[in-house]
């Protein structure tokens, strides 16, 4: 067996182990009884230990080096080997003691954060967050060292291989320059009142049935996946056994439905990955930005488009018994409002929430923003960007789970994903000119098939910029995204 | 760290791994989409490989030997070490290639068996079963060698540590001598017609609600366990996260209910095991006979007793809307009928199904019964013991999954369990004289508390015979069981 083949066998076993963890995580969120967490924590930590042990086995480095000298690898195998090396470097950069300390500190901090957010008690949170931040800084320094990157770039790279702050700054600058004024225009052109339709009550069983119908229409394979309810919607499991979740709110006909559509976008990506490479690093999703581009393509680019609403509206009228026109639905779904909470923000204001976080997390990481100053700096920045000011830390800097969980470098992927989605959509319109007619007729295979061919089927064979350029014919750019937002939200 | 402490740490990690497998098995039966088996099989086989690797680690033998020489271990630790050695011997007796071959052959044979049973095609099954039997014989020979036991005893020991065919023969002989005549008497004393109540239709939601109510009353902890539906009822998961299942038949008010009660007996055992030893071999259930004694104690000894029916009957009348007297319910639940299918057999005829299998599987294992002759020998034996003859292999020798699955030596545990349950019940009546008054009042903590103290809390500290003798004051005997059957089924 060649060194490359040995590595393939090892990574296939690692994939099985990680798949098991995926199902156990899903179970913990969806099925597990409330008192069983201690037992589950032992199981997950043992599986994580075994996975880490395999990834840091003493002969791994030699196998990788040997394989890199072997000849006759085809392009997929070469890309696979590159991904193996990349995963190896990430896993081996951070000492095991630091991994364990970080896991413990974030578990505690997330727990304290939940209470502190409720109690609006920043000092309570800050003490624990200081420990998390210190450990993240150490881990980032270790990775920076291993990869020859800056600390923040090293963290970005772990969520989105190849992503760098220099790229992000270039992508985000036009948003910061143009969005505030676009939002002002959009708000001026709209009624300040939230459309009533957004708070129409619909029984949960009815919502569930329509969600299933739309998943089916979009091509979700229920023989290799299922949908359940959890506190926060997510797409878990593994390709071949996808576990999607949503949550239901009786007083909102769209929240759950669009969560389902969003997660279905993630699911289609996972199930569209190259089957032959399912167990190998090159067969995995490319990174968080591209993953988010797939969920946002379905949720935002496709399912909030007038064509899709033409397909959806009769269902809302018959299934939900809501007497509304297509136009009223579009008005509701394209409502724009300055708001404090990221997860509730509309498509147009959302990027500013990300810009704020991207800026502040860099400052937290390099130490230029003291933890004690975060609430004020957050509120000031919010006021500067969106023109509104949080009235307490609960709807200010304590609203998100990412930082207490140690995830610094993750936030930008949301907006980079939104940009990629817009650029892919322009390319789709070029390649499949009648996509809107198809969508209006409830015929989605032309659209999802295009995504499968140009995005999903490549797995991690190319970098994200390479893949976007190959799929769209142009380098990743904020322009299609800004054009999309302008077209959708600003009346001529 | 002493050798013993090192072993404790290793077995705790092994426990986490096995717990993960438990949840993944449950998920496969209860939640997993139909097309996801290939992915799940990879996950389970990798976890099994890792567990086997840990159990056969090169330094395990030395650690065990060293620990056995260490002084100062308390009785629990000593028993734990004994159990570790026992598990080590079982895991190491059979070469890894044979384990893998057996796993592959049984998976195939179980699949073929399902079809062959449906098609009543014995030759189709026999070809694959020959391979399974050959491998089981090899594994039994290897274990026999390692333990200095006969081949059949070595298999018995893997399901029920310490169980030997000599003990079983002594226990079963009086059953074979007395049951046929008792059954004749019972049948003569009853109407030949199946009581109508047994096929009264009850909506599944109603059955579910009553099942939950009874589980709660018996002390099932829903913060550390749940109940779902599967093709065959089972009690899975791990202590601290128990996953119980049942199946519902609309045309039978008792089938699902008594499956729930049976599995609740298993669940109470698991959750009553000593918390401090939860992750160690000594903290596990003692063996399949004792496990079955706990499910049968709840299902048969307690919940088919007149006292329990006094508690249950008003619920049946109000919840199920069935207008029946306590007496009619008892008549239905104590109906006796010679039948061909073990899993549908009543309490009185059931042991003869086991006697038949226990006899024939020994003959299959030692080669004295050629596979080709099994159908005829089965039918003859059925006729001799129960006086009825199968009309095809589907309700004859192809009815059970055990043999195609490679489980030879398992069947006797059902009836040994039933005997232990009867003996424990007599001891309960001695220690808690008003148990029946308590049960009739729906007060079960005196009964389950007695089981917890005398059975569950000991984990695997004692052998099954030691435990039964300690709990009841007498050696394991078939007499209490025969007395129970006589009292319940034969009118004076």
Q: How many CB pairs under 8 A join A and B?
A: 105
Assign B98 a pLDDT band (cuts: 50, 70, 90).
very high
Q: How far, in Å, CA of B385 to CA of B356, rounded?
A: 8
Identify any residues that bridge with B238 across adjacent strands, giving them in sequence order.
B241
A25: which residues sit within 8 A by CB, 6+ positions away? Answer: A44, A236
Distance from CA of B24 to the nearest CA of A (A): 7
Asked whether the beta carbons of B225 and B241 are under 8 A apart, the reply is yes
B59: which residues sit within 8 A by CB, 6+ positions away? Answer: none
Is the predicted ipTM greater than 0.90, yes or no? Answer: yes
| pLDDT score recorded for residue B123 | 97
CB contact under 8 A, A47 and B17: yes
Question: Residue A103's closest CA among A132, A140, A137?
Answer: A132
Is the pLDDT score of B96 beyond 90? Answer: no
Is the pLDDT score of B492 beyond 80? Answer: no
Q: How far, in Å, CA of A403 to CA of A411, rounded?
A: 10
- In chain B, what percentage of residues exceed pLDDT 70? 100
B220: which residues sit within 8 A by CB, 6+ positions away? Answer: B242, B244, B264, B267, B268, B271
CA-to-CA dists, residue A151 to A129, A139, A355, angstroms: 18, 9, 19
| pLDDT score recorded for residue B399 | 96
Residue in B48, B50, B271, B283 to test binding to A, most A beta-carbons within 10 Å = B50
Token reading at A349: 């204001």
B106: which residues sit within 8 A by CB, 6+ positions away? Answer: B132, B404, B405, B406
Q: Which residue of B has its CA nearest to A239?
A: B39
- Helix (H/G/I), strand (E/B), else coil: B350: helix
| pLDDT score recorded for residue A192 | 85
**Please, what is the average pLDDT of chain B?**
96
| pLDDT score recorded for residue B192 | 85
Question: Residue B254's closest CA among B331, B193, B340?
Answer: B331
**Mean pLDDT across A91-100:** 91
Is the pLDDT score of A68 beyond 80? Answer: yes
Q: How far, in Å, CA of B430 to CA of B488, rounded?
A: 19
| pLDDT score recorded for residue A306 | 97
Chain B contact residues (CB < 8 Å to A): 12-13, 15-17, 19-20, 23-24, 27, 31-36, 38-40, 42-47, 49-50, 221-226, 238-241, 279
Distance from CA of A151 to the nearest CA of B (A): 35
Is the pLDDT score of B491 beyond 90? Answer: no
Q: Which residue of B has its CA nearest to A26?
A: B27
Assign A81 a pLDDT band (cuts: 50, 70, 90).
very high
Q: What share of chain A is helix, strand, coil (3-state, %, to 5)?
A: 70, 5, 30
Residue spans per domain, chain A? 3-159, 160-492
Tokens 């509309």: give the residue: A346
Token reading at B57: 């680690």
Q: Tell me the CATH number for domain B161-492.
A: 1.10.1370.30
Token reading at B104: 């592959």
CA-to-CA dists, residue B437 to B52, B268, B444, angstroms: 49, 21, 10
The enclosing H or E element of A40 equals: helix A37-55
**Mean pLDDT across B113-119:** 95
pLDDT in tens, A356-392: 999 999 999 999 999 999 999 999 999 999 999 999 9
Torsion of CA A338, A344, A347, A348, to 10 degrees: 10
Token reading at B166: 């000599």
Q: What sign results for the dihedral spanned by CA atoms B51, B52, B54, B60? A: positive
Tokens 């998390």: give the residue: A132
| pLDDT score recorded for residue A228 | 97
Kindly indicate whether the domain formed by A160-492 is annotated with CATH number 3.30.413.10: no
Q: Which residue of B has its CA nearest to A39?
A: B240
Is the pLDDT score of B204 beyond 90? Answer: yes
According to DSSP, residue A227 is labeled: E
Token reading at B387: 């006086």
According to DSSP, residue A42 is labeled: H
pTM: 0.94
Is the pLDDT score of B135 beyond 80? Answer: yes
Annotated catalytic sites of B, by residue?
263
CA-to-CA dists, residue A51 to A20, A22, A96, B38, B92, angstroms: 11, 13, 12, 21, 24
| pLDDT score recorded for residue B100 | 87
CB contact under 8 A, B46 and A20: yes
pLDDT in tens, B296-344: 999 999 999 999 999 999 999 999 988 999 999 999 999 999 999 999 9
Residues of chain B contacting residue A240, judged by C-beta atoms under 8 Å apart? 35-36, 38-39
CB contact under 8 A, B36 and A222: no
Tokens 């990157």: give the residue: A149
């Amino acid at each position: 067996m060649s060194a490359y083949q040995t590595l393939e066998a090892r990574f296939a076993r690692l994939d099985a182990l990680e798949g098991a963890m995926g199902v156990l995580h899903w179970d913990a969120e969806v099925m597990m009884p409330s008192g069983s967490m201690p037992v589950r924590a032992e199981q997950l930590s043992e599986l994580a230990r075994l996975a880490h042990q395999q990834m840091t086995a003493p002969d791994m480095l030699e196998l990788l080096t040997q394989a890199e000298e072997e000849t006759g690898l085809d392009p997929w195998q070469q890309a696979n080997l590159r991904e193996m090396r990349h995963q190896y470097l990430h896993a081996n950069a951070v000492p095991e003691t630091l991994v364990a300390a970080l896991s413990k500190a974030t578990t505690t901090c997330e727990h304290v954060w939940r209470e502190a957010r409720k109690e609006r008690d920043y000092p309570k949170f800050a003490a624990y967050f200081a420990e998390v931040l210190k450990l993240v800084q150490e881990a980032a320094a270790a990775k920076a060292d291993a990869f020859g990157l800056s600390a923040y770039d090293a963290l970005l790279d772990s969520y989105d291989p190849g992503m760098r702050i220099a790229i992000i700054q270039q992508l985000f600058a036009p948003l910061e320059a143009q969005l505030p004024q676009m939002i002002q225009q959009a708000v001026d052109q709209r009624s300040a009142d939230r459309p009533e339709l957004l708070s129409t009550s619909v029984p949960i069983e009815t919502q569930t049935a329509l969600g299933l119908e739309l998943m089916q229409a979009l091509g979700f394979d229920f023989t290799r996946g299922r949908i359940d309810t959890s506190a926060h919607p997510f797409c878990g499991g593994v390709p071949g056994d996808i576990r999607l979740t949503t949550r239901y709110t009786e007083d909102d006909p769209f929240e759950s439905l669009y969560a389902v559509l969003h997660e279905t976008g993630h699911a289609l990506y996972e199930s569209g990955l190259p089957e032959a490479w399912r167990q190998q690093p090159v067969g995995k999703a490319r990174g968080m930005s591209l993953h988010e581009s797939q969920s946002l393509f379905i949720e935002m680019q496709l399912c909030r488009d007038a064509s899709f609403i033409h397909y959806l509206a009769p269902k809302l009228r018959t299934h939900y018994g809501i007497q509304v026109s297509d136009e009223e639905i579009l008005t509701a779904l394209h409502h724009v409002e300055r708001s404090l909470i990221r997860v509730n923000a509309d498509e147009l204001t959302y990027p500013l929430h990300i810009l704020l976080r991207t800026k502040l997390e860099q400052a937290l990481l390099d130490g230029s923003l003291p933890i004690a100053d975060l609430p004020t700096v957050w509120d000031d920045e919010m006021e500067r960007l969106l023109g509104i000011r949080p009235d307490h830390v609960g709807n200010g800097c304590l609203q998100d789970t990412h930082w207490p969980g140690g995830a610094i470098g993750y936030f930008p992927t949301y907006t980079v994903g939104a940009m990629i989605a817009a650029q892919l959509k322009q390319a789709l319109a070029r390649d499949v000119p009648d996509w809107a007619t198809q969508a209006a007729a409830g015929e989605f295979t032309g659209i999802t098939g295009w995504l499968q061919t140009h995005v999903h089927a490549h797995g991690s064979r190319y970098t994200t910029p390479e893949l976007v350029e190959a799929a769209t014919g142009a380098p990743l750019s904020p322009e299609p995204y800004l054009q999309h937002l302008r077209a959708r939200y600003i009346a001529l």
